[in-house]
Structure 1
Amino acid sequence: MGLLVAALLQATSVCAEPAWLDYKLARPDGSHISYRLLSRQPATQPTTLLVAIQGSDCNSVAHNQAIQQHLINVLPAADVLVVEKYGLDATLPHSNSPERPDCPAPYLHHDNPIQRTRDLSAVIADLLRTQGYRKIVAVGGSEGATVAMLLAANSSHVDATIAFSGGGRWFRDDLTHSVMASDMPAAQKPRAAQGLTQLAQKIVHTPMPDLRMSNHGESWWKGMLGLDMLAVLQTVRTPVLLIQGGRDDDASPQAALALVAQLHQAGQRNVDYLPYPTLDHRLAAPDKTSRFAEVVKDMNVWLRRQGF
């Protein structure tokens, strides 16, 4: 009997483990937003929702290890929401290829930071209606940082925002920074940076419906290049934490620092800045050891200071 009871208790414990559940919500154009919800305490009324926002890759958020291993620990007791980009779902195999040939056409045509913000806002509004969350925190890295800040600016429901590895005011500055930080011979870098700047200007001002570059289409490139993150953050009144690694080769640490300085000079005191001088874009140290878990602990400390 004792063995039977022990087996039953073990089975109950396994069943009680929180699991991701998949949902869909209709868009006005007839397509569907796919999203996943992790309910930490399904037997009780949830109070806090953590919105974890992936970066710029052409991959399903269902396969995102940074979220599943690290970002869910930003608020360990909160429910966690992840929302797929337009045209993506868990059936798309994970790939690290910078130019994967199987990016779905709807994703390449529709995905951009504004679309992602609209989708997140729609899902959050629906969950507030059905679940009754009292506090919402948004956290994202790289492009996810941009989307998190846009969400804070465009939604009255977000109570705090954490954006890491997001760079500064203009995406074009991050593009130039990535060239100058690359392994390209030093003599070639200025010309390459100039060429990239000219291409960015062409993308902004010229219709390019067939553009396919770095797993993104015209809509994404025009959207990212057109954003002024200083203007975005100036409309946010809730607490914001910006985190930037000093060895980031993709997003400019100098531009991030300048953005924060501009906000503070304008008298905006809701934005905190936490630099990690030795960490790279993925929050790894010079020896390639991940410091992601340590940064997540600091995120949690900051949130506790904000009353979460």
Structure 2
Amino acid sequence: MIRNMLVSAAVAATMMVTGVAKAEMAFKPLKEDPKEIAFGIISTESTSNLKVQWLPFLEDMEETLGMKVNAFFAPDYAGVIEAMRFGKVHVAWFGNKSGMEAVDRSGGEVFVQTSKADGNQGYYSHIITHADNDKINKLEDIFKCDKSLNFGIGDPNSTSGFLVPSYYVFAQNNVDPKKCFKTVRNANHETNLMATANKQVDIAANNSEQISRTKLKQPASAEKIKVIWTSPLIPSDPMVYRKDMSKELKSKIKAFFLGYGRLGDVAGARKVLAGISDGMGLFMESNNTQLYPIRQLALFKDKLKIQKNAQIGDADKKEMLSKINAKLADLAILAANK
């Protein structure tokens, strides 16, 4: 039977103090393969909703691997990243930004990528507002920056809810959300969408997956929001496991993912996948190179912030930008040859 572990706020806070605040510390190595797999699930929605989506999949994973698979939930993305860093999570579903953090800080390794039922391997970030709001119809309408609007942004480790809008919407338009809006609130995709539909925030970051899922599950709420901005295509989510598990166990896990919906009870597996997010398709081969565009995006965002920061001296600014440009050049070569 699947056992669910919900990380308390106190434990998450402890992880933040001992982990994120000391990001230079190496991840805690595994002494041996785990006897049970802890599967981390990022908090894109409420835990109750995520359980409904993921537990049938984890039950099939448990049966195929022949070992217990426990669902691990945390109140924010950082909780899953840090749990992997300390060996409390062995496999996890991440977005690209949180997956990048898991690879860099938590001994993670991308091994497969999600897809849609039609084979599409991407999704979009959106800025949304209430459907009845006739004063906001395009991105420029939110840039009056008179502190009259309440803005809902995503988890700081979310790709579509935070990184992508931070760069494309705000950094490229030289707008600081904290100086522009009355309030800026961090929340998951589901909460931000419902807050917009219920007029608790004026605008919010969201994504195409959450909007599609809401149309299926709560169509009345979906009808209350409208999209005013759409990002470039974002690569589909990575699945990440601890790279220091044995090759044998990693191979078994990867084989399960790549075989799921292709081998055995194909119809049953595809029905389970269809119930995850807005309808998940088969898992596709992937590796850490899928994170290159996200790394470039994060560096471009940092570069813009440094260029526009008048408090940084010219010499320091030149040195900082030189380091970022060197990293971007390396990434460009790697991306071209992946």
Q: TM-score, normalising length from structure 1? A: 0.36
The structure that is helix-richer by fraction is 2
